[in-house]
Structure 1
Amino acid sequence: MNIARLSVVTPLLLAASCGTAQLTDTAGMGPNPELPAPQHSLIPTVNVAKAVGWPEGVQPRAANGLQVTAFAKGLQHPRWVYVLPNGDTLVAEASAPEHPEEGKGIKAKAMGFFMKKAGSAVPNANRITLLRDVDGDGVAETRTVFLSGLNSPVGMVLVGADLYVANTDAIVRFPYAEGATSIAATGTKVADLPGGPRNHHWTKNVIASRDGSKLYATVGSNSNVAEHGMAEEEGRAAIWEIDTKTGAKRLYASGLRNPNGMAWDAKTGALWTVVNERDELGSDLVPDYLTSVRDGAFYGWPYSYYGAHVDDRVQPPRPDLVAKAVKPDYALGNHVAPLGLAFADGNALPSTYASGAFVGQHGSWNRKPRSGYNVVFIPFRDGVPTGENPREVLGGFVSDSGEAYGRPVGVAIDKRGALLVADDVGNVIWRVK
């Protein structure tokens, strides 16, 4: 490491010894999490698990009564999984796009160093790969490049014969034929999404309404708490509704700092999402969350969190918006970084997983002790979480010495009812049954 880089990184290394959580992990979970006074510091807590990948013979730890196997190995930063009606599995292999404004400044350079340590700064495959389990043994025998030349793709959804892909800056449509192992056609842009030279939260997800007439796309914020100004946040921290025929879009919900996974509750028809909340208020704030999404609702970011808890770092304040901020339904824990979301519908796991949602938690970079780095199940009853703490489905992603073997991202239920988990550090798709 050269002296210039050392001078940037050393203060953050020292900060890693500060900011230890005072509350238990479970205090930041459930419908009414504890929200202590925020801790302000010039330098944030840093506690990155170095990405090393899975040693030979080592794999995640499944909960009692479950088994985990590798569905596919040797992928390139797999972020998202989507199961087609015929059982084929699509995997979005992508990393951050070029965003030159994001790396400017001492703090940004230091954070870039730590994100590289965490396994995020890797070459961008910019493709979707198709996996096919021909003989039904739970291992993909066929692997083909399904789509290439994309722009940091993540979300995918099939509507009839149209496959929609969420690039980092647009929703693009491709023609799909059942059983196809690749698509050669050029995609058609349906709608632009906020991208640009900063593009802080670059991942975009997309799902479709039940009748296929509308798409819903997530767009994360361009900052932690609007420190670059609200003009940089235009159209961000939101879920957009897009007409599949015309591409016309409208703001469906806002104030969601970094929404990623989305899913429909088949019983109630409600849209749910998982959200990464703000950083740099200490290890005990702010809990990331799972919430239903109301049409037209505002969820607080950047002015407040969990309803009326004002973030005084954001100036000028907006008491009018804070007054209408919706409290999320369920806290997942502080800094767990929830990304993937799938409801239990169609799963063949034991009955204890019959009603609820699976969440892929990428894991913290700024909490002591670390949190997340697992897949959890949130039990539901009558269309809402029961209030129980999350149940770990898949763990063991961090070694006893604090190195990350893997990091869970997207989750999906496959054609045979098993749970698929994308692991972007281990470069594996895990299958849990």
Structure 2
Amino acid sequence: MSIAETPQPSASAAQSLLDSIASRQCNVGVIGLGYVGLPLIDAFTSAGFSCTGFDVDATKVDSLLSGKSYIKHIGDDKITAWLDKKAFDATADMTRLGEPDVLLICVPTPLDDARDPDLRYVVGTCEAIAKSLRPGQLVVLESTTYPTTTRDVMVPILEQSGLKAGVDFFVAYSPEREDPGNPDFSAAGIPKVVGAISEESLEIAKKLYESAVAGVVPVSSCEVAEAAKVLENIYRAVNIALVNELKTIFDDMDIDVWEVINAAKTKPFGFQAFYPGPGLGGHCIPIDPFYLSWLARKQGLSARFIELAGEVNRAMPDYVISQSAKFLNEFQKPIHGSKICLLGVAYKKDVDDPRESPSFELMELLLELGADLTYSDPHVPNLPEMRHYDLPAMQSQELTPEFLSSQDAVLIATDHTDFDYESIVKHSPLVIDTRNATASVTDRTKIRKC
């Protein structure tokens, strides 16, 4: 259904919410206080709004209410500032969802064991909202999902409240755009794509985000906004798969793929550099493309590029382990019994976010082969429990000369800038580099790239 065909709410309800946004009197509720929700709260409190954070994890709520953050790039000082100016409250009580004027849904959208979309958190959140939904509220889904989710999944659940979407309350979709660890892009500095189910919903959502972020890109429907987010991540997944495949080919030809990419990116047009790695990580690229391929299969279509890219990227941890076995063999050592320290369990450098990190699969594979495994990550002091991996409790090791020299190999999985690569190479018998992190190290005799 297009915006023009959707029943419209009363002008007075829409204008009332627009006025409260303009005067910064409206309260913004953020559901899901993680790597998307907290930066959003920072953006809105910085713009003069008050925010209420909701999360089913009471330990997160207690931490925030005591002024303590659990996300590196949203420091304790920010949380304390929100509390001091009485611009922030947090709760695990979902009966309070009727209090805010706006509700932004920032919950996970993972894949299930069959690699199909798992919308249990979106569904559960919408069911909780429906119990206290009141006329005049704006509900915005920010979680990445497949096109039609907002209209076909979210709206029917919200309408179980007895209220009519587009008549009694407003609905929009605006996909999150977060780049954790990148100081050049905060939540407030990234333009937001916004689609909605009605003209008033779009106008209100546009005005809301314009008040707190760098710019708004309105589109004609929720479906366009949903598809735009999936496209952004498919673009990256496919191009990363391309360079990962090229890496395996060039390795066999004794050609340095990193040197090839650095040469190619000197072309000032028609080329954008993507880089290989030990596998895909983070909350977007390993997951979101499969939301669209699933939707395509439902409609009897194939998404060949997406599926092929997924196959290539999922194969990279196995490739890294096979190459590591080859490198250890140069020293007459098998993986079984070898002391191997994996550097970095965060999914990207200089962050504390381990979601979907390929490091966990590397660790699981190494343990299955009998390695004496340790890890080091300055941003992740204790190995977190992960849903899909069964790993023992571990603590990050300090990379002293004595520790490094006691290892048979050091495997660089995440290229944190905090690592002293000169020292690592100097004191380690063998360094296996999946990220080109050792490019500037002078002595390269003990370095093997894969």
Q: Please, what TM-score do these two structures have when normalized by structure 1?
A: 0.26
Greater share of residues in strand: 1
Larger radius of gyration: 2
Greater share of residues in helix: 2
